[in-house]
Amino acid sequence: MKYFLPFLLLLSACASEHSVHSYRTGPRLRRPVPPMVTVGDRVMRMKIRSKYALDAIVDKDEVGVSASAGTVTLYGIVSSRDAKRRAIEIARETKGVRFVNADIKVLRRKERPVPRRRYR
């Protein structure tokens, strides 16, 4: 009995330390989950990308989409002002979007840099 109570106290302290620590960085978690990316943000991003795929003006490969906590960021290079306006309009019309950051540049196809081919 003399050693049982201190042992029990030590054991309970270790157990509480482990449970608090394993909540964030336990051995079962292989990679950390970003705190601001939620399932809703992923669904919102996928909805916007699918609307771009169905749209005649916006090319889905020209405009990138990222979402975090209801804020959507659009980035890329498009070939016309109409495509830029339409991309922003589609993002704003999507359910769950609170704010749209548009980092889209307009360059004509002739002004775009030609990607270099890499030979291996």
pLDDT tens digits, one per residue of 58-117: 988 899 999 988 899 999 999 899 999 999 999 999 988 999 999 999 987 666 666 666
Mean pLDDT of the chain: 78
φ, ψ of residue 108 to 5 degrees: the values are -70, 160
Residue 30 has pLDDT above 60, yes or no: no
Give pLDDT, residue 21. Answer: 45
Give residue limits of the domains in the chain. 39-106
Q: Among 3.40.30.10, 3.40.50.300, 3.30.1340.30, 1.20.1330.10, name the CATH number for the domain at 39-106.
A: 3.30.1340.30
pTM: 0.60
Percent of the chain residues past pLDDT 90, beyond the cut: 44
